[in-house]
């Protein structure tokens, strides 16, 4: 099985390259300048040349606050570009696995979001990713759209690395305690993608295409996530700091973020027989890797 993934250095891309190597699956990553989602004309040819069995669409414009100032670029990459990736797969007669986000929801629900819940993005980033889901579905009926959330990993920039960096020179870190979600390790996402891809590859009659939520098991808020990261670091001999709870109102950001973006991943578990470990276990594994 040969997976072609968009992007070169992202958290999910890097995790998928590593997981592919361990599992003996060919994973080919193509990114800029050969494949530039902001220049959708580059996409079809770059993907065709890589001869995929399955295309994984993991590259995206992910700067949530900056997107408020660059809506055209965010939509070009996350909507038009993503649609082109799905179209490239469709032309080759292969499925596309596309990553999307919990930020397609506004956060007003009281429980876990399921796939059929109404979307209502509160930010440009969320709106551009929702437009991407629609473009992908329109371009290729053989699509899996995987909405994930709060992604961290040993690679790239993420919350785990930020907390460890801040703890190295501060005694106390203020973290918002009123936004709830599911921290998700990109290492787990990669494992889930390999699992789903193997199912699609094995079962040519697979018919359960469509949207799935795919997030870490269990929930917390950013401050609880920070505490777990720093507790793990402390017992592993790394930097630590006190965490002080603050509210979203205390920490204004350009983009509005959902207060509750907890996702139910039950549909993915039942379709593919895979669910993520408890978020604490996955966090511990990544903290230890970052420290080492
Ligand atoms: N990071 C997070 O917390 C979350 C991420 N997601 C989604 O998961 C997917 C993967 O996210 P991460 O790996 O965390 O992102 P990341 O920011 O670590 O990596 C994004 C990748 O996209 C590439 N890229 C950006 N613009 C590009 C362009 N114009 N052409 C080609 N490549 C381009 C970057 O070079 C990088 O390789 C994305 O679709 C993202 O929207 C969903 C929910 C949360």
CB atoms within 10 A of CB 114: 13
Ligand 1 near 125 CB (within 6 A)? no
Residue nearest to atom 22 of ligand 1 (CA): 59
Ligand 1 near 149 CB (within 6 A)? yes
136/142 Cα distance (integer angstroms): 9
72/30 Cα distance (integer angstroms): 23
State residue 208's pLDDT score.
Answer: 97
Catalytic residue, chosen from 61, 103, 125, 212, is: 125
Report phi then psi at 244, rounded to 5.
-105, 125
State residue 42's pLDDT score.
Answer: 96
State residue 273's pLDDT score.
Answer: 96
| First-to-final CA distance of the chain | 32
Distance (angstroms) between ligand 1 centre and the Cα of 82 equals 11
State residue 221's pLDDT score.
Answer: 98
Distance (angstroms) between ligand 1 centre and the Cα of 171 equals 32
Report the residue among 151, 152, 276 best suited for mutation to probe ligand 1: largest number of ligand atoms under 8 A from its CB.
151
* Domains of the chain from N-terminus onward: 2-156+183-218+261-277 (3.40.50.720)
What is the pLDDT averaged over residues 126-137?
98
Instruction: State pLDDT tens for residues 58-106.
Output: 999 999 999 999 999 999 999 999 999 999 999 999 999 999 999 999 9
Ligand 1 near 54 CB (within 6 A)? no
Distance (angstroms) between ligand 1 centre and the Cα of 186 equals 11
269/214 Cα distance (integer angstroms): 9
Ligand 1 near 274 CB (within 6 A)? no
State residue 246's pLDDT score.
Answer: 98
Q: Which of 53, 11, 59, 54 is nearest to 31 (CA)?
A: 59
270/100 Cα distance (integer angstroms): 20
Catalytic annotation present for 251 = no
Atom in ligand 1 nearest the alpha carbon of residue 36: 30
Q: What is the ipTM of this complex?
A: 0.98
Report phi then psi at 49, rounded to 5.
-65, -25
What is the pLDDT averaged over residues 28-38?
97
State residue 243's pLDDT score.
Answer: 98
What is the pLDDT averaged over residues 157-162?
97
What is the pLDDT averaged over residues 4-33?
97
State residue 21's pLDDT score.
Answer: 97
CB atoms within 10 A of CB 170: 12
State residue 190's pLDDT score.
Answer: 98
At 8, list the tokens.
């070169």
Averaged pLDDT score across all residues of the chain: 97
Instruction: State pLDDT tens for residues 240-283.
Output: 999 999 999 999 999 999 999 999 999 999 999 999 999 999 99
If you search the block for the tokens 């929702």, which residue do you land on? 130
State residue 254's pLDDT score.
Answer: 97
């Amino acid at each position: 099985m040969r997976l072609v993934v968009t992007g070169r250095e992202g958290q999910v891309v890097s995790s998928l390259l590593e997981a592919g190597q361990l599992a003996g699956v060919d994973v080919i990553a193509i990114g800029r300048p050969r494949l530039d989602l902001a220049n959708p004309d580059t996409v079809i040819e770059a993907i065709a040349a890589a001869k995929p069995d399955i295309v994984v669409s993991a590259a995206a414009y992910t700067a949530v606050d900056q997107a408020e100032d660059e809506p055209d670029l965010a939509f070009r990459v996350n909507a038009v570009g993503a649609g082109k990736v799905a179209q490239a797969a469709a032309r080759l007669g292969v499925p596309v696995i596309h990553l999307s986000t919990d930020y397609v929801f506004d956060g007003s629900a009281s429980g876990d979001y399921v796939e059929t819940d109404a979307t209502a993005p509160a930010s440009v980033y969320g709106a551009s990713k929702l437009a991407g889901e629609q473009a992908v579905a329109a371009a290729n009926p053989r699509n899996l759209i995987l909405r994930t959330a709060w992604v961290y990993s040993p690679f790239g920039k993420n919350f785990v690395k930020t907390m460890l960096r801040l703890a190295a020179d501060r005694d106390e870190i203020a973290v918002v305690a009123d936004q709830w979600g599911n921290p998700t390790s990109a290492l787990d996402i990669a494992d889930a993608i390999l699992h789903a891809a193997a199912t699609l590859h094995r079962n040519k009659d697979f018919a359960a295409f469509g949207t799935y939520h795919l997030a870490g098991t269990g929930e917390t808020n950013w401050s609880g996530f920070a505490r777990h990261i720093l507790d793990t670091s402390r017992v592993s001999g790394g930097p630590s700091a006190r965490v002080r709870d603050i509210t979203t109102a205390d920490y204004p950001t350009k983009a509005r973020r959902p207060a509750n973006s907890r996702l139910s991943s039950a549909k993915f578990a039942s379709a593919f027989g895979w669910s993520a470990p408890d978020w604490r276990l996955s966090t511990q594994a990544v903290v230890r890797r970052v420290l080492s």
